Amino acid sequence: MFEEVSCCSQGELVLNEQILQACKELLDDAKIGCADLVFKEVCLEILSRAHNVLNQRQFKQLAAYASLKMKERMSFEFQQEMTTQR
């Protein structure tokens, strides 16, 4: 009799998923092409802007993804530094 009304239409959810994927791709590109400090700045800027357009679940997913990318970068740079010190 009554249809459940959601706060977001199906089209909005699809668009948000595309925005989430685009943000992840931006993080991946930044990881490849930026120095560590610049990469961190780019991550913060992407997260800041994404917070305004993604829902809470998607934003948390993006924040976790960014955190993993930062950890990967630190681990990789630490390994490079150890190699060059030998």
Domain limits, the chain? 12-85
Position 53 scores a pLDDT of 92
Position 23 scores a pLDDT of 95
Within 8 A by CB and 6+ apart from 65, the residues are: 24, 27
Position 1 scores a pLDDT of 41
pLDDT tens sequence for the chain (86 residues) = 444 445 557 777 788 899 999 999 999 999 888 888 889 999 999 999 999 999 999 999 999 999 999 888 665 555 555 566 65
Position 5 scores a pLDDT of 42
Enter the DSSP assignment of 18: H
26: left (phi over 0), alpha (psi -120 to 50) or beta: alpha
